[in-house]
Amino acid sequence: QPASDADVLHGLPPLTASINEFKLHQQTGAESSFVVFVIDVAVGELCWTVRHRFKEFHALQQLLSKHNQLVRLPPFPPKRPKLFGGSSLEFVEKRKAALNTWINKVLSIDAIAQSAEIFDFLEVSFHL
């Protein structure tokens, strides 16, 4: 019988994530660009990097809310740039900081940190 996600982390150091940078991507042949946030993930000394767009963080938040209705999740950063003001680079820096705070608060909730949604988002099973 395969081990559950919680069994994989049992006895291991806590799962951590840190967003230290972002990359601006220009779509080929398109006028628009998008930002990808680079997330450094670690379990003890084992470290890897995953990349996600804001909309993927938002989708994760919606999944977590749907599947964990008894757990109070931290507030999710707003979508609207006008709430941050300033230049677009300044906005992305503030969004990066807000997403970093959000993911760390989420990971501080044991029931959520060991969920399939978090494991998929941070590619935990792939690296352990």
Report the alpha-carbon distance of residue 124 to residue 55 in Å, rounded.
Answer: 20
Report the alpha-carbon distance of residue 25 to residue 91 in Å, rounded.
Answer: 16
* Highest mean pLDDT pick, 9-18, 70-79, 100-109: 100-109
The confidence score (pLDDT) of residue 7 equals 55
Count the residues in the chain: 128
Report the alpha-carbon distance of residue 55 to residue 101 in Å, rounded.
Answer: 16
Adjacent-strand bridge partners of 93:
none
| Token duo for residue 122 | 């941070």
**pTM of the complete model:** 0.84
Q: What is the mean pLDDT of residues 70-75?
A: 90
The confidence score (pLDDT) of residue 2 equals 44
**Which helix (DSSP H) or strand (DSSP E) does residue 28 occupy?**
none
Whether pLDDT at 61 is above 90: yes
92 or 41, which is more confident: 41
